[in-house]
Amino acid sequence: MAANLDKIMKPKSIAVIGASTKDHTIGSDLMKRLEEYKFNGKIYPVNPKGGIIQGLQAYQKVTDIPDEIDLAIIVVNAKFVLSTIDQCHEKGIKGLCIITAGFKETGKEGAELERQLLEKVKEYGMRCVGPNCLGVVNTKPDIRMDGCFAESLPERGHIGFVSQSGALGGGILNILKDLNLGFAQFISIGNQADVNAETALEYWENEDDVQQILLYMESIQDPSNFRKLATRVSKKKPILALKAGRSAAGASAASSHTGSLAGADKAAAALLKQSGVIREFSLQNLFETAKVFANCPIPKGDRVAIITNSGGPGIMATDAVSEYGMHMAKISDATKEKLRSFLPSAASVKNPIDMIASAPIEHYKQTLETVIADDNVDMIICIYLPFLGLKDIDVAKALMEIKAEHPEKPVIGVFMTKNEFFTKLSDMDVNIPFFMYAEQAADGLNRLNQQRLWMERSEGKIPVYDVDRAKVESIIKKAIKDGRAQLTTLESIDVLNAYGIRACKYGLATNEEEVVNLGNSIGYPVVMKMTSKTTSHKTDVGGVVVNIKNEEQLRKEYKALLARLEEKGLLEGLEGVIIQEMVKGNREMVCGIATDPQYGPMMMFGLGGVFVEVMKDVTFRIAPLTDMDAEEMIKSVKAYKLLEGARGTKPAQIDQIKETLLRLSQLVNDYKFIDELDINPLLISETTGEGIAVDGRIKVRMDEAKEALGCSEMCATCGAC
């Protein structure tokens, strides 16, 4: 069932429970704002004392109201909130917005109160925004609800905005207004007991009035649901997110602030990327991007033309465009010829097109009109520097005229002029976003292009492979029985094998015949490693012999090992030797999973070996992976060039590595109690180009594993016991 917040966001009638006549109280401010913004429905103040509030008859109880109520905005003291919800239920109200603070954010007792609150909301089949929030707003002309106590009245537009911080939400509404950025709906989710960012995404998915979604988040409540919804919704409209608390210091501030556990930033970053959410790292960037999406269509490609009346900013814009990996458009010969027909000879008709300082308004118009029609051009930056005799606002109007006739391509203006210009603009209807600096324009185009690529990107599938679950479960049960959370290397390799992951072939042998049989079946060259209960430093006693090329040599080395051990009196503890396939390759990758307490299993892939911590050339995605995710992971690390076969090495089997990641993803998705899993190295074979797990490490969360596998320490259901 899709989230339906109509009762809250499109109410026909609102009861303000805790409405007040006392100045500078929320109960009074709220009433004023609802009236002032001319709410298109009925407002019913509720106050135990009754009386007249904002010219309206106040009811002593919500149940006293004679008409039907869609939304109750609650501002009573926290201790009365539960009983107020009961009364709302009695009255048949289905929408709540609880502004009252004093819940989870205050500690244990508050958290318990919030738990009870949510229980009632669920039981009564209500939806609830808050508690501890700033309120809700809908600017649609047939609604006009300002149920929020921010400083300024809302500005009409088409942004849907969710804020986890009430105060910041208010600050943002102020700034949006200044930037001439209007919004359609605003939800201050507060402690997000019921309604959260995910609910809003789902609700706005098919809400035409909301054309882009802005999120300010300090934590993501249900990452898996967020991913599902955001992935779908972002294909229809851009979702921009500012996720605060990304540094360790910031996350600790975030957690003390909202009482919610902020997930590690790597996991959040992966989740947002996989979900097609455009992540911004500052409010300024968030707003600038919103301004671009509010005034530009999604482009058809990434070829940028720059039109300027001054060289310097043209260079700076070119720098910025190139640094984003977008392309400078090749202006067609026809376009160049046309430009030459009216521009002075000193002008440059190559991209950046420099009309030179003398360019009159007419040249701006003609040049934009000519360039916008060029099929080689997808997006345009138009730069204006003030020279004597030309008014910035006139140039802007001229550009907007042309743009109005050609709405199909994004145009961004860079006007390096006085602040007044932007103030003037904020009172006008614009169809071009204007910025002061070239870099802001390039940023904006880059975001448009990012959204284009995401919308064009296939959704991807999560494949399901045929695997040997029984094998895995028996291995893990055995470890549980032994009281080991950490599987041995051999057990780990066996688990990987059971999931069809190409691991190094091996076997354990306890006598010469077994040794030789193993060597012959694995194929030479092999590695021989002793395994002993008493000798932990294998290499000190020559316990690891590499590159054994044939049966004869294997026999010889085995005998020599036994002799060495006997000489040192270490033969006693010997359990046997592991004969292992010797994989040749000098490209060491790493893959595995780490578990984030909030986001669940997170996959990692990148450059392995000694470089893993030094170069940090690794990438993360939340499991389960789609095939697209796996492919993007592989291609996004710098070491991908090594996989492709840089410097004469054999190209790696990218598809096989991709499958390795996908099978691994299936494994950790099937067994959520796997806490850590490392394949390091995943060696790229110089012979076949395969990625081969040469070493593996798996650790489980014991209690969860026991529960999931249905085994207790006393049980006898497991073959391994």
Sites for a copy of itself among residues 386-425 (CB under 8 A): 386-389, 416-419, 423
Q: Where are the alpha helices (DSSP H) in 623-690?
A: 627-636, 640-644, 654-670
148, 134 contact by CB (below 8 A) = yes
- Closest contact distance (angstroms) between CB of 638 and a copy of itself is 6
- Closest contact distance (angstroms) between CB of 351 and a copy of itself is 9
- Closest contact distance (angstroms) between CB of 261 and a copy of itself is 14
Under the binding rule (CB under 8 A), the answer on residue 250 touching a copy of itself is: yes
Distance CA(28)–CA(16), nearest Å, equals 10
Distance CA(195)–CA(5), nearest Å, equals 9
Pairing of strands 353-354, 303-308: parallel
Under the binding rule (CB under 8 A), the answer on residue 503 touching a copy of itself is: no
Stretch that binds a copy of itself, among 92-100, 279-287, 488-496, 567-575 (CB under 8 A): 279-287
Residues 661-720 that bind a copy of itself (CB under 8 A): none
- Reading the block at residue 206, the tokens are 């098919």
Tell me whether residue 141 or residue 389 sits nearer to a copy of itself (CB atom). Answer: 389
How many angstroms from the chain centroid is the CA of residue 486? 31
Residues 570-629 that bind a copy of itself (CB under 8 A): 586, 607, 610-611, 613-617
- Closest contact distance (angstroms) between CB of 583 and a copy of itself is 17
Site string for a copy of itself, 67-96 (x = CB under 8 A): ------------------------------
Q: Please name the residue that has the structure tokens 């294997």.
A: 554
Tell me whether residue 78 or residue 515 sits nearer to a copy of itself (CB atom). Answer: 78
Distance CA(221)–CA(196), nearest Å, equals 7
Give counts: helices (H), strands (E), the chain: 25, 30
506, 519 contact by CB (below 8 A) = no
Residues 11-70 that bind a copy of itself (CB under 8 A): 24, 29
- Closest contact distance (angstroms) between CB of 51 and a copy of itself is 23
Site string for a copy of itself, 420-449 (x = CB under 8 A): ---x------------xxxxx---------
- Reading the block at residue 598, the tokens are 């909030």
Tell me whether residue 546 or residue 646 sits nearer to a copy of itself (CB atom). Answer: 646
Residues near 571 by Cβ (< 8 Å), separated by ≥ 6?
562, 565
Site string for a copy of itself, 346-375 (x = CB under 8 A): --x-x-x-x--x------------------
Residues 298-327 that bind a copy of itself (CB under 8 A): 309-316, 318-323
Stretch that binds a copy of itself, among 369-377, 536-544, 568-576, 637-645 (CB under 8 A): 637-645
Under the binding rule (CB under 8 A), the answer on residue 654 touching a copy of itself is: no
Under the binding rule (CB under 8 A), the answer on residue 641 touching a copy of itself is: yes
Tell me whether residue 57 or residue 252 sits nearer to a copy of itself (CB atom). Answer: 252
Distance CA(121)–CA(129), nearest Å, equals 11
Q: Closest by alpha carbon to 703, among 664, 675, 670, 677?
A: 675
Tell me whether residue 146 or residue 675 sits nearer to a copy of itself (CB atom). Answer: 146
Question: Assign residue 621 a region: left if phi > 0, alpha if psi is -120 to 50, beta otherwise?
Answer: beta
Stretch that binds a copy of itself, among 239-247, 466-474, 651-659, 692-700 (CB under 8 A): 239-247
Distance CA(342)–CA(344), nearest Å, equals 7
CB-side exposure of 571: number of CA atoms within 13 Å?
Answer: 12
Distance CA(145)–CA(39), nearest Å, equals 5
- Closest contact distance (angstroms) between CB of 258 and a copy of itself is 7
Under the binding rule (CB under 8 A), the answer on residue 156 touching a copy of itself is: no
The length of the chain, given as a count of residues: 721
Cα-based distances in Å from 569 to 113, 509, 562, 628: 68, 20, 10, 56
In this structure, the number of other CB atoms found within 10 A of the CB of residue 30 comes to 27
Tell me whether residue 258 or residue 497 sits nearer to a copy of itself (CB atom). Answer: 258
Q: In the set 77, 83, 206, 284, which binds a copy of itself (CB under 8 A)? A: 284
Distance CA(261)–CA(465), nearest Å, equals 34
Residues 161-190 that bind a copy of itself (CB under 8 A): 164-165, 167-168, 170-172, 174-175, 177-178
498, 471 contact by CB (below 8 A) = yes
Under the binding rule (CB under 8 A), the answer on residue 223 touching a copy of itself is: no
Stretch that binds a copy of itself, among 1-9, 116-124, 385-393, 577-585 (CB under 8 A): 385-393
Residues in binding contact with a copy of itself, number by CB under 8 A: 86
Cα-based distances in Å from 416 to 33, 181, 399: 38, 21, 15
Q: In the set 647, 687, 714, 716, which binds a copy of itself (CB under 8 A)? A: 647
